[in-house]
Structure formats: C-alpha cells, structure tokens
C-alpha cells in the first residue's frame, strides 16, 4: 500500500502566507525526482501553525499536483478527536489516499484513551490511517499491544515509527503481522528499519535529496546492498544537519539554498542561526547537492 521514500513535505511561506505556487512546484519536483509518496501537513509542514483553512488548502494543492501518480497521505492528527475527524474527513473529500494521524499531544491520554481516539477517527472516515507514534513530540508512546488492537480495524493500516527503537519493528511485525505497514519516522534509521522489517521511511531529508532517498529504498528492494550502503553513507551527514536545530528550520533553509522556496518558518520556530546555516550548506555540498 504505502512504501519507499515518502516525503514529509515542507510548507513554503512568503510574506507570512502559504506560497501556493512554490508548494505545487515543489510537489511536482518531488514526483519527478522519484519520490514514492507525499505527506502534506505533517510536523515538517508546520501543521501546528497552519490555520484550518490553510491546512485543508495545502492538502488540496498536493492532491491536485499528484494526480494519482504517487499516494498522498495527509497529516490530519490533532489532540482533539473531533478536530482530527474533521481534518480526516476533509482529506477524504480532497482525494487523499490516506491519513497520517499523530498520537494526541499535550493531553497525555492513557493507552485506552489512544485506543478510543483512533477508533473514533477510523469509524468516522473510510480512509487508510497510518498511526504516527512520536513520543519525543507528543509525550505519549503507543504500546505495541495497543497498536495490535487498533490494527484489527480495517481502516488502520500501519505506523510511522519515530521512536528510533529498532527492536520495535520486529516486535510489531511478530505481534501484528507483515501486512501492517511499518514506516520509519527517523531518517537516520531508514536502512536499519528496513532490515528489521520496515517497508519505507517518511522522510525529512527527502525534501532536499528526493532522488537519493528514493534510490536508497529502490536499491533495498533490488537487494543491491552495496548501493544501499553507499547512499546511506552520503545521506548520513545530511540527515544529521537536518536536525541541528528544530525541524523544519534546517530543511527549509536547505530548500532555500536549492532555490525551492523562502527559508521562512512561523513563530515560535526561530530562523536558523548563522552557525547552523553554515553547517547545512556544508552538508549540501558534501552530498553533491550544491555545487555552485
């Protein structure tokens, strides 16, 4: 269903507003570079500071460009179940192929609370749902046991695992089965996650190195491990640079250096520091992405 290199898309801004042309041009470039899927309005897309109207519009813009060529998994999560249902219903109407739903942040629900939250969304909207488990940002960690219960629902198809715990994909596969889609949510673990039973990565780095990220995933499927390890080694310093400050400030600056958009983020995210800008530029040049 969902596999390979799936880009957690940035949302370009210009003069404080969503830069719709830059975004659609960026989506087209991603597809041309071989990206296997797209996630608008995730964390990297600055969903916490998008208005509801902006959020919905960005999903629509992405679907409009993709035209079914690659799957669009719209970020529709919220710490309000009613709001998550509303956003997921919109994603379905807009033509998205799936929804990425984060575990509720700030509220700190119990495992039972998360179970009820995801079931309510899955019952309300007939759309494939990928659970986004990211304890570092949401504070709560969905257990494999809870995930196994949710996987029984026909609309809950997989997980974006951003725990960086490489025992999780094996244990999840043993508990739930191979058909449950497991995607890494950490660029640095992309290859190791594949080795542990995953089928792809929802990637920040793919914003600026879409060809390399998709080639890595394709090489794994072809069992071309020399290519996998070669590309992994090229991407590792770049992955590190993309998280030198809070995501998406570094990757937006990198996209700016590649001429794709302005580097603007919305408060409370600060502009990337001069020192970090130099680190990002160095990483881009080392990876052969910036040569002038």
Catalytic residues: 132, 160
Query: In whole angstroms, what is the distance from residue 245 CA to residue 241 CA?
Result: 8
**C-alpha dihedral sign at 238, 12, 211, 157:** positive
17 bridge partner residues: 14
Q: Which two tokens stand for residue 41?
A: 């309005």
Pairwise CA distance, residues 56 & 87, whole Å: 7
Look-up of token digits 């957690």: 8
CA distances for 222 relative to 56, 63, 110, angstroms:
37, 29, 41
What does the alpha-carbon distance between residue 145 and residue 9 come to, in Å, rounded to a whole number?
30
* Helix 274-286 × helix 249-257 angle, to 10°: 60
Alpha carbon dihedral 202, 207, 209, 210, in 10-degree steps, equals: 60
């Amino acid at each position: 269903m969902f596999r390979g290199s799936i880009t957690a898309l940035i949302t370009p801004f210009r003069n404080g507003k969503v830069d719709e042309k830059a975004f659609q041009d960026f989506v087209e470039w991603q597809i041309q570079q071989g990206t296997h899927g797209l996630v608008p309005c995730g964390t990297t897309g600055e969903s916490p500071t998008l208005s509801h109207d902006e959020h919905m519009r960005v999903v629509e813009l992405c679907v409009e460009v993709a035209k079914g060529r690659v799957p669009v998994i719209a970020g529709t999560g919220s710490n309000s179940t009613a709001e998550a249902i509303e956003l997921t219903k919109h994603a379905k109407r807009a033509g998205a192929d799936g929804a990425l739903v984060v575990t509720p942040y700030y509220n700190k629900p119990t495992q039972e609370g998360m179970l009820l939250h995801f079931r309510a969304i899955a019952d309300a909207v007939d759309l494939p749902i990928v659970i986004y488990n990211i304890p570092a940002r949401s504070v709560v960690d969905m257990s494999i046991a809870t995930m196994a219960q949710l996987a029984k629902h026909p609309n809950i198809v997989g997980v974006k695992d951003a725990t960086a715990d490489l025992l999780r994909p094996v244990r999840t596969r043993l508990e739930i089965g191979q058909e449950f889609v497991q995607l890494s949510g950490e660029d640095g673990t992309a290859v190791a996650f594949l080795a542990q039973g995953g089928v792809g990565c929802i990637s920040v780095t793919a914003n600026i190195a879409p060809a390399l990220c998709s080639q890595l995933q394709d090489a794994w499927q072809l069992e071309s491990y020399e290519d996998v390890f070669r590309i992994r080694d090229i991407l590792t310093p770049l992955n590190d640079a993309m998280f030198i400050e809070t995501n998406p400030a570094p990757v937006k600056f990198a996209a700016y250096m590649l001429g794709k958009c302005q580097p603007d983020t919305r408060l409370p995210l600060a502009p990337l520091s001069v020192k970090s800008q130099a680190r990002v530029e160095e990483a881009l040049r080392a990876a052969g992405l910036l040569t002038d």
